[in-house]
Amino acid sequence: MTWWTRALKSLISINEQRLDLFRVFPGIRRFLAARHHYAYLRTAGDILFVLVVVSGLFGPGDARSNVAVFLSWGFIWPSIVLSWFFVGRMWCGICPFPGLGVFLQRRGITLSLSVPKILQKYGVYASVILLALIIWTEVVAGLDRSPIGTSFFVLSIVFGAALFSVFFPGQAWCRHLCPLGRISGAAATLSITEFRPDHEKCRGCETFACKKGVDGKRGCPVYLGAYSVQNNLHCLVCGHCLPFCDRDSPQLLLRNPYSELIRNKGRYITCSYIVPFLIGSQLARFLRKKEIYSQLAAFSGWPDAVLFSLLLLLGFGLSLMIIRLGARLFGINEDPMFGKFSPMVPILIPMAFTGELVYRLGYFAAGVGDFIPTVGRQIGAGFLEKLFFTIPDFPVQILSAFFMLNGSIAGCYILWQFCLNDFEGHVRFRNFLGINLLIIALLFFYLTVIF
C-alpha cells in the first residue's frame, strides 16, 4: 500500500491506523528535532513582531500609511487561524510572545515557583475573559485600525508572558493563561495532525527526559513531555522532546480531523467555554458590519461600546441556547465510563472555527490589495500606489459560504458518528433530526450576517 493511500485512509476513517509522518518523511522529524531550525523560525517571527511594534509606536498614526495594522490583523492572525486546521498548536511553538520570558529564564532571572493550584484549575476562565476583552477591544476601540493600539496589544501579551516567566518555570503563561494559546488549543482539536507518543516504547522509561530535559537543556516548555500527551489542547508541537527521547516514541500522526472530537465527546472544559463565546462573538462582529447595525445605533442613540456589548451578550446567549437545546434533544450528558460531557460542543466546533477563519479572511481580502501601497506611503515611495488592487466581494462570499457549509456538514457528521457508534439506539430519530435542524438554523444565521 502506497503512503498516499494510507494517508487518504487516515484522513477519512475514524478507526484506521493513523499514518506516522515521521516514518514516511523522516526529514520532518529531523527538522523538528534540530533546535536551530526552530530558532530560525522563531527569529523570523521575532523580526516580524519587532517590525510591528516599532512601526506601530514610531510610524504614522494612520492605518493606511502604516504596515503594522495589516501585518498583525490581516496577515499574522489569519495565518495562525489557518494553521490550526493543519498543524494544531505548532504556531505556539514558534510564537514570539514568550521570547522575553525565555531570555530572562536563561539568565537565571526567575523564582521558579510552583504554579498555584488555583491557576491550574481556574486559568481557563481567566483565559476566556481575556479573549473576550481582546475581541471587544479590537472591535470597539478599533485595534484593527490603530497602529499604536496594535503595538500596545502585542507588548501587553509579551509583558504578561515575561512576568509569568519571572515567577514560574517554563512557559506557564502559555500553558495556563494565554488567551491566544487557549483558543489555539481548542481549535487544534480539529487539526488533521496530532503529536502522540508510542506508549509501548515509553513503557519502562525512568528518566522522563522529554519532560524534564537533560544536561542543562530544558524539556517540555508546558510541563507535558511526549509520554503524557493525550490530546491537542496543550502540546505545542515544538519538538523539544524529540532529541531527549532515546526510545523513538514521539509520532506525528495524520488523522481524521473529527476523530478527537468524536472520541472525547465534549469533555474538554476549554472548548465548553471557548465555543459558545466564539460563535456569539462572530455573529455580533459580522452583524456590526451590516447597515441594520448603523440604523439601530442611530435609532437607540447608544454608544457603539454599549450596543456592541449587548450584541455580544445576545450572541453568546443564542449560542448557549442552541447548545443546551441540542443537549436536551440528544438526551444524554453523562456516561458511566467517561463521566459528564456536552455533546453539542464538539458538534459545533467545526462551525465555530471555520467562522473565525471566514471573519479573518474577510479582513485579509479587504486589505491585501492596499498593502504594497501602504508600504509606499510609509517609506515615501508614491509610485507603489499603482500596485493597488481590490478583491471583489462575490468570490470572497462564495468561499465564505463554502467554508461555513463545510463546518455545518462536519457537525452533522459528528452527530451521525455519535448516534452510529457510542450512543446507538439512545437518540430518537426525531431528536436526531431536531439537532440537525439546529445546525442548519445556525448556518442560516451565519450566512445571513455574513451576506
What pLDDT is stored for residue 402 in this prediction?
A: 96
* Residue 427 zone, left/alpha/beta (φ > 0; ψ -120 to 50; rest): beta
Query: Letter for the amino acid at 190?
Result: L
Q: Could you give the 3-state DSSP secondary structure of residue 128?
A: helix
Q: Is the pLDDT of residue 247 over 70?
A: yes
Domain around 300: 263-450
Residue 32 belongs to a domain? yes
Select from 347, 349, 302, 310 the least CA-distant residue to 326: 347
Q: Are 251 and 273 in a shared domain?
A: no
Contact (CB, 8 A) for 83 and 190 = no
Q: Are 313 and 213 in a shared domain?
A: no
Q: Are 349 and 206 in a shared domain?
A: no
Contact (CB, 8 A) for 102 and 165 = yes
What pLDDT is stored for residue 416 in this prediction?
A: 95
Residue 10 belongs to a domain? no
> Cα 104 to the chain's mean position, in Å?
27
Q: Are 346 and 366 in a shared domain?
A: yes
Q: Where are the alpha helices (H) located in 291-428, listed in sequence order?
A: 291-300, 304-330, 344-367, 371-379, 393-420
Residue 196 belongs to a domain? yes
Residue 7 belongs to a domain? no
Global pTM reads 0.93
Per the structure block, which three cell numbers stand in for 392? 471583489
| Rounded Cα distance, 315 and 309, in Å | 10
Q: Are 179 and 291 in a shared domain?
A: no
Average pLDDT over residues 291-317: 94
Q: Is the pLDDT of residue 158 over 80?
A: yes
Domain boundary among 220, 255, 290: 255
Domain boundary among 205, 221, 255: 255
Domain boundary among 255, 285, 302: 255
pLDDT confidence band for 2 (50 / 70 / 90) = confident
Give residues with Cβ within 8 angstroms of 247, minimum separation 6.
Answer: 198, 201, 202, 205
Q: Are 267 and 251 in a shared domain?
A: no
**Own/partner long-range contacts of 70-76 (Cβ < 8 Å, ≥24 apart):** 70/367, 70/368, 70/370, 70/371, 70/374, 72/144, 72/150, 72/154, 73/138, 73/143, 73/144, 73/150, 73/360, 73/363, 74/363, 74/364, 74/366, 74/367, 74/368, 74/371, 75/364, 76/48, 76/52
Residue 5 belongs to a domain? no
What pLDDT is stored for residue 1 in this prediction?
A: 67
Q: Write down the residue that cell numbers 488549543 correspond to.
A: 185
Residue 138 belongs to a domain? yes
Residue 6 belongs to a domain? no
pLDDT, mean over the chain: 92
| Rounded Cα distance, 247 and 249, in Å | 5
List pLDDT tens digits, range 97-131: 998 898 899 899 999 899 999 998 889 899 999 99
What residue ranges in 117-245 does DSSP mark as E strands?
193-196
394, 315, 155, 373 alpha-carbon torsion, rounded to 10°: 20
Q: Are 79 and 119 in a shared domain?
A: yes
List pLDDT tens digits, range 384-423: 999 999 999 999 999 999 999 999 999 999 999 999 988 8
Q: Are 268 and 229 in a shared domain?
A: no
Give residues with Cβ within 8 angstroms of 162, minimum separation 6.
Answer: 98, 100, 101, 104
Q: Is the pLDDT of residue 237 over 80?
A: yes
List pLDDT tens digits, range 71-87: 999 999 999 999 999 99
Report the domain count for the chain: 2
Per the structure block, which three cell numbers stand in for 234? 496543550
Per the structure block, which three cell numbers stand in for 364? 485579509
Count other C-beta atoms under 10 Å from residue 248's C-beta. 12
Q: Are 74 and 93 in a shared domain?
A: yes
Q: Are 68 and 188 in a shared domain?
A: yes
pLDDT confidence band for 6 (50 / 70 / 90) = confident
Residue 126 belongs to a domain? yes
Q: Are 315 and 175 in a shared domain?
A: no
What pLDDT is stored for residue 88 in this prediction?
A: 93
List pLDDT tens digits, range 429-449: 999 999 999 999 999 999 999
Contact (CB, 8 A) for 408 and 443 = yes
Q: Are 291 and 237 in a shared domain?
A: no
